[in-house]
Chains A and B, each alone.
Chain A
């Protein structure tokens, strides 16, 4: 009898030894004369338990967490292939509290399936939404997306239904779907996890978008820092094409759609939609003026849907299960779920998909278990390098686009980076300006020059030079950048800076890790 063993092939798992664990398991099985089938699945998102290995016993997947290659011998000695007792045994995967408490709408196949098996994907409702769309027509898809209340998960939160409708109604026969997989915000990895764990899911989502708006060509702009995601997605695209799920007349529907995969080249600002379009056209990633919006004049001047990976990947279940079910989740105008990413100094880091409305405290304490260092939480940066640093007193803020705007913060792409009380927040404010200076595309002056001046002013404040005057100057600089920058790079870099001035001003007076 062949035993099924799962070892993730996902960047975080591999980064802490999953490949070596897989090799060790194969070797030990061979030596013991046991027949196993090794499946390299995606990650369930419990990154803190990686490498997380599963073995199928009586149709149940038994999990073992934090397995190092040198643990494999003892696993076999403990009868791991029949679910034997071991210090690292976690029990059935579907009883792990971190996972069962989640509402997996978009990431439900991640971890569950073999990402590169089209059969496995089909068994788990793969392409069912696209088939439904072919049957119901493109108008039904547009209506479902609008009714779901889905908003862009890349950070801007623009209603997806309105964007798709605009492109569908735009003049012209050539239209494009451009998928933004340039996930550059620190603290975020949900796009990567989805691509590595459910690449066919993204392909189906893009085909759905193309069918809905009348586009026959899609582009994925994937950052070059994700080589494993690139390898997995390239394979999946080939397989989909080979099996008639991409290309001419998909499954006899009469609908043509294909996808080109493009790599970024290390520019953060290329995550901004118009800079990304420039880069897709082979140019410098310099931000465009808006209007015209990409929905009217996007890639190569044609109407283009630009959506983030997670936005697109939320659509198949909206089509398949109904917009009402999605809209019933969440709070206020923040409908549905978001894949929160717990990162940085946190004990149980990973991906937690929950409806909007959950508080930061619940995510950080209940799911995350507090800091990795065991020290008190000092600050939490939500939404990447352009997001505010929130003090512990704001942890009860619900995750809701509008609630975050009210406190001068943003949810962004759902990344949550925790800092303990050793963090020097003056240095973090400085880094915000430094990063902007490094990554600014240079088109607008407030961002290009303002960021460099910002670093200088903060350095003077840290050095206790004319602190009052420099404080006023920094505020004025933040005002200028916020009001006059062309895109969010310069326009939101002041968010983290202001939040440090507001909540952690003491760190300018008493730096080097003082939590005063």
Chain B
């Protein structure tokens, strides 16, 4: 799902599917990030033209929302919940373990994997929670985390 370049045609396809209306900018960006993993400067320029917005408008929206990465992530994305319910079940320790295991800080990428914080995955009764490549997982201790990472890499 991650690409180092984002082809113009795929962005145009998303815009025409959603509709070239400024009020759909957040939805269009969400589609782009789901398909490509991030938003490039070229995409910002293209969207400004196609939606008849200023580049500053599009840039502002891209920078405002946490979901809209402005650099390409790794092939796998691991998110660890940092919010209170998970904290109460040891997410700080789990995060430290994940950083050591994956060899990167939060927001960083090591090899094929990007590590990011999440602020509540809504799985608070099965804390701590992580999300790996879009799938929410619960009751994650260090051992289970390692198994999940191995399975993720095994799955390619």
Whether A500 sits at the interface, judged by CB under 8 Å, is: no
Which residues does chain B contribute within 8 Å of A419, judged by CB atoms?
88
Q: Are B124 and A265 in contact (CB under 8 A)?
A: no
Query: Chain A, interface size: which category?
Result: 35 or more
Closest to A435 in B: B119
- Residues of chain A within 8 A (CB-CB) of B87 are 344, 428, 431
Closest residue of chain B to A224, judged by CB?
B67
CB <8 Å contact, B24 and A350? no
A343 with B85, Cβ < 8 A, contacts A15-B126, A265-B65, A417-B124 known: yes
Interface string of A355-399 (1 = CB under 8 A from B): 000000000000000001000000001000100000000000000
Answer yes or no: A144 CB below 8 A from chain B CBs.
no
A265 to B60, CA, bound (A): 14
Stretch among B1-9, B70-78, B135-143 lining the A interface: B135-143
Q: Which residues of A contact B89 (CB under 8 A)?
A: 344-345, 372
Q: Which of A27-35, A132-140, A180-188 contacts B (4 or more CB under 8 A)?
A: A180-188
Once A15-B138, A344-B84 are accepted as A-B contacts, the answer to whether A350 and B23 lie under 8 Å apart by CB is no
Of the listed residues B66, B83, B84, the one surrounded by the most CB atoms of chain A closer than 10 A to its CB is B84
- Would you call A11 and B120 a contact (CB within 8 A)? no
A268 at the interface (CB under 8 A from B): yes
Contact A265 B136 (CB under 8 A): no
* B64–A267 CB distance below 8 A: yes
Mark out the residues of chain B between 69 and 102 whose CB falls within 8 Å of any chain A CB in the assembled complex.
Answer: 81, 83-89
Known contacts A341-B125, A345-B88: A224-B30 contact under CB 8 Å: yes
> B125 near A284 (CB under 8 angstroms)?
no
Residue contact B121 to A283, C-beta cutoff 8 Å? no
Contact of A47 among B81, B86, B126 (CB under 8 A): B126
Q: How far is the CB of A424 from chain B (nearest CB, A)?
A: 10
Residue on B nearest A16 in the bound complex, by CB: B138
Q: What residue of chain A has the Cβ atom nearest to residue B137's Cβ?
A: A15
Residue of B with least CB distance to A432: B84
CA–CA, A343 and B83, complex, Å: 12
A265 touches B30 (CB 8 A): yes
Please count how many residues in chain B sit with their CB below 8 Å of the partner chain's CB atoms. 42
Is B46 part of the binding interface, using a Cβ–Cβ cutoff of 8 Å? no
B38 within 8 A of A: no
Decide if B12 is an interface residue (CB 8 Å cutoff): no
The reply to whether B65 and A285 contact each other, CB–CB distance below 8 Å, is: yes
Closest to B129 in A: A15
CA distance A16 to B81 in the complex (A): 16
B30 touches A188 (CB 8 A): no
A423 interface residue, CB < 8 Å from B? Answer: yes
- Is the beta-carbon distance between A12 and B84 smaller than 8 angstroms? no
Contact, CB under 8 Å: B86 / A186: yes
Contacts of A431 in B (CB 8 A): 84, 87
Q: With an 8 A cutoff between CB atoms, is B118 at the interface?
A: yes
Interfacial residues of chain A within 190-237, with CB under 8 A of chain B in the complex: 192, 223-228
Interface flag for A415 (CB, 8 Å): yes
Whether B134 and A227, one on each chain, are in contact in the complex, defined by CB atoms closer than 8 angstroms, is yes
Are A186 and B65 within 8 A (Cβ)?
Answer: no
A252 within 8 A of B: no
Min Cβ gap A239→B in Å is: 21
Q: Decide if A148 is an interface residue (CB 8 Å cutoff).
A: no
Given B61, B134, B138, B139, which contacts A282 in the complex, CB threshold below 8 Å? Answer: B61
Verify if A50 is at the interface (C-beta below 8 Å from B). Answer: yes
Q: Given A16-B139, A285-B64, A350-B125, do A428 and B24 touch, yes or no (CB 8 Å)?
A: no
Chain B min CB distance to A468 (Å): 28
B120 to chain A: closest residue by CB: A186
Nearest A-chain residue to B28, judged by Cβ: A282
A449 interface hit (Cβ, 8 Å): no
Query: Which A residues from 337 to 351 make CB contacts under 8 A with B?
Result: 341-346, 349-351
Interface status of B122 (Cβ within 8 A of chain A) = yes
Cβ-defined partner of A186 (8 Å) among B21, B29, B119: B119
Chain B residue at smallest Cβ distance from A378: B88
Q: Are A265 and B88 in contact (CB under 8 A)?
A: no
Q: Among A48, A224, A265, A285, find the residue whose CB has the most chain B CB atoms closer than 10 A.
A: A265
**CA separation between A285 and B60, bound complex, in Å?**
11
B43 CB within 8 Å of chain A = no
Residues on the A chain within 8 Å of B115, using CB? none
Q: Please, how many angstroms separate the alpha-carbon atoms of A16 and B144 in the complex?
A: 11
Q: Is A189 positioned at the interface, with any CB of B under 8 Å from its CB?
A: yes
In the complex formed, the residue of B with least CB distance to A192 is B122
Say if the beta carbon of B127 comes within 8 Å of chain A: yes
Do the beta carbons of A50 and B61 come within 8 Å of each other? Answer: no
Q: Give which listed residue, B60, B66, B121, contacts A284 with CB less than 8 A.
A: B60
Report yes or no: A189 in contact with B124, Cβ–Cβ below 8 A.
yes
A225 interface neighbour in B24, B65, B120, Cβ under 8 Å: B120
A420 interfacial contact with B, CB 8 Å: yes
Which B residue's beta carbon lies closest to that of A186?
B83
Give bound CA distance, A226 to B118, whole Å. 12
A227: which B residues are within 8 A, CB to CB? 134-136
A420 and B88 in contact, given A15-B126, A189-B125 (Cβ under 8 angstroms): yes
A225 to B86, CA, bound (A): 15
Q: Known pairs A225-B122, A350-B125, A417-B124; list 4 more (Cβ under 8 Å).
A: A11-B123, A12-B123, A282-B26, A415-B85
List 23 interface pairs A-B (beta carbons < 8 Å), by A numbering.
A12-B123, A14-B136, A183-B122, A186-B83, A187-B84, A189-B124, A225-B121, A228-B136, A265-B30, A265-B67, A265-B68, A282-B21, A282-B24, A283-B25, A283-B61, A284-B64, A286-B64, A343-B85, A344-B85, A344-B86, A346-B125, A385-B84, A420-B88
The 7 closest A-B pairs by CB, nearest first: A349-B125, A186-B83, A343-B124, A266-B66, A15-B138, A47-B125, A265-B65
